[in-house]
Amino acid sequence: MIKLANPSNFLAFANKIMPWLIAASVAIVAYGLYLALYVSPPDYQQGETVRIMFLHVPFAWGAMAGYTLIALSALGTLVWRHPLADVAARAAAPIGAAFTFVALATGSIWGKPMWGTWWVWDARLTSFLLLFFLYLGLISLWQTIEEPSRAARSAAILALVGFINIPVIKFSVDWWNTLHQPASVIRVGGSAIHNDILVPLLVMALGATLVFITLHVAAMRNEILRRRIRTLIRSQVEGGVEV
Amino acid sequence: MTAFRALLYRDILLALRLGGGVTLAIGFFLLVIAVFTFGIGPDLPLLARIAPGMLWAAMLLSALLTLDRLMQADFEDGSLDIMAGATLNLELGFAAKALAHWLTTGVPLSLAAPLLGFLVNLDPGAIIPLVATMLVGTIAISFTGMIGAALTVALRRGGLLTAILVLPLYVPVLIFGVSAVQAALGGPTSFTSPFLLLCAISLASLVLGPVASAAAIRTSWQ
C-alpha cells in the first residue's frame, strides 16, 4: 500500500489492473442486470417498477460512499499533504456527482408511478439533492482556483465542512418531512427484504462499486498524467525564457 | 483579547461608516419580498400562511449578498496579510470579524423582518418567534458564511461561488428556523425543540466557522 502512494508506482499498478477491473465490472453488472431483470420476481404491490430499485439503491450507496472517499482524501491532503490524496478526491467528485444524479433521476422515474409525482420535497430526496449541490460546489471550487496546491487545500476544507454538515442536513430534513421508506436492507433484526430481491440487489451493489472503482482509477490516472503534462509544459516555457 | 476588541470595533465602525452595506441588504430584502408577492398574487390568507418561510428565505438571500464584505475589502487593501502575519491568533481574529458582521447585518435584518412582515400579512403572534429565530439563526449564517467568503476571497467572480458553496450549508438553519416559527403559530410540534436545535447549530458554527476560515486563508499564504 505504501509503495502505491508514489504516483509512478500507482500509474504502473493502475495500468496493470485496469483491464481486470473493466472485465470484472462488465461481468458483474451484466450478471446483476440479468438477475434483476429476468430472475427476480415482480413485487406484489409495485409490480415490475420495483426493478428500478436495482439501479437506484446501488447508485445512491455509491454516491454517499463517494463523498466519504472525498472527505477521507481531504484529511489526507490537509494532514499528510499527500499529492495523491488530492488526485483521489478530485477524480472522485465528478463520478460521485454522476452517481448522485443517477440516483435522483431513477428515483424520480420510480416516483412517478409509485407516488404519482416526479418529485416530492421529502427528506431523503431533499438531502440527496443537497449532496448533489455539495458535489457541484466542490467541482466548481476545484475549477475556479488555478493554482493546484491551493485548490487542493481549499477544496479539502470545504469537503470536510460539508462532511460535518451531512448528518445535520440529513437529520434536519428527516425531521422536517418524510415519505421515502426508512432503511430496510441493513437494520436491527435482519433484513426486511426477501432473498429473491436481496441477492440481485447485492450483486448490483457490487457491480456499482466496481464501476465506481474502475472509473475512479481511470480518472486518477488521467489526472496524474494531466499534471505531468502541465509540469512538462511549464519546464519547457521556463527553459525557453532562460535562453 | 485587546486585539479581538480592536478588530471588532474596527469592523463595526467600517460597516457603519462605509455605507452601502446593511441599508443595501435591507433594500434587497424588501425587493425580494415584493417580487415574491408579485409572483404569488395578493391572496392574503395564502400570504399569511407562507409569510414566515418567505421572510426567512428572503433574509437568507439578503445576508448572502453581504458575505463578500467580510473578506474582500481586507484582502484588497492588504489588511488580511497583516492579520495573517500578526501575532494575533487568526481564528480569534476571524471570530471578531464574524461577530461584527452579525452585529451589523444579522441583527438589523432580523429586526427589519417583522416590519416587512406587514407587507405579507404576517400573523402578529409570529413576530416574536420570527425575530428570536432570526437573531439566533443569523449567527450561523455569519459564521458559516465566512467559510465561503474565506475560500473564495482571492478569486475573480468569487461572489457567485460563495453562494453556491454556502447555500447547502444554510438549509438546516432555514428548516429549523421556519419550523420553529410555524410551531409557534400552532403547528403540530412545539416551539422549543426546533429552536434549541437552531441554537445548537449556531453554537457549533461559532467554532467551525473561524477555524475553517482561518485554515482556508492560511492556504493562500503557504
Is any Cβ of chain B less than 8 angstroms from the Cβ of A153?
A: yes
**pLDDT averaged over every residue in chain A:** 82
The reported pLDDT for the residue numbered A173 is 67
Residues A200/A36, Cβ–Cβ less than 8 Å: yes
**Is the pLDDT assigned to residue A242 strictly greater than 70?**
no
The tally of domains found in chain B comes to 1
Cell numbers of A230, please? Answer: 502541465
Identity at A79, one-letter amino acid code: V
| Contact between A150 and B219 using a beta-carbon 8 Å cutoff | yes
| Contact between A173 and B151 using a beta-carbon 8 Å cutoff | no
Nearest to B168 among A134, A144, A149 (CB): A134
B209 vs B87 pLDDT, higher one: B209
The reported pLDDT for the residue numbered A183 is 55
**Is the pLDDT assigned to residue A243 strictly greater than 50?**
no
**Is the pLDDT assigned to residue B141 strictly greater than 90?**
yes
Residues of B near A (Cβ–Cβ under 8 Å) read 144, 147, 151-152, 155, 157-158, 161, 164-165, 167-169, 171-172, 175-176, 179, 194, 197, 201, 208, 212, 215-216, 219-220, 222
Most B CBs within 10 A among A78, A122, A125, A158, hence the mutation to make, goes to A158
B172 vs B1 pLDDT, higher one: B172
**Is the pLDDT assigned to residue A227 strictly greater than 80?**
yes
ipTM reported for the complex, 2 dp:
0.79
Q: What is the mean pLDDT of residues A85-113?
A: 89
Closest residue in A to B188 (Cα) is: A176
Instruction: Annotate B38-55 with DSSP letters as a single string.
Output: HHH-S-HHHHHHHHHHHH
DSSP code at position B124: G
The reported pLDDT for the residue numbered A97 is 94
pTM of the model: 0.82
| Contact between B151 and A130 using a beta-carbon 8 Å cutoff | no
Cβ atoms within 10 Å, residue A151: 18
Is any Cβ of chain B less than 8 angstroms from the Cβ of A172?
A: yes
Is any Cβ of chain B less than 8 angstroms from the Cβ of A78?
A: yes
The reported pLDDT for the residue numbered B145 is 92
Interval A3-59: pLDDT, tens: 677 888 888 888 888 889 899 999 998 888 888 888 777 766 667 777 888 888 889
Interval B35-73: pLDDT, tens: 988 898 888 888 888 889 999 999 999 998 888 888 888
Residue B206: HSE in the Cβ half-sphere, 13 Å Cα cutoff: 11
Q: Phi, psi at residue A142, to the nearest 5°?
A: -60, -40
Distance from CA of A53 to the nearest CA of B (A): 27
Interval A187-219: pLDDT, tens: 555 556 677 778 888 888 899 999 999 999 999
Q: What is the mean pLDDT of residues B134-161?
A: 87
List the domain range (segments joined by +) for residue B204: 2-220
Interval A177-193: pLDDT, tens: 544 555 555 555 555 66
B89 vs A174 pLDDT, higher one: B89
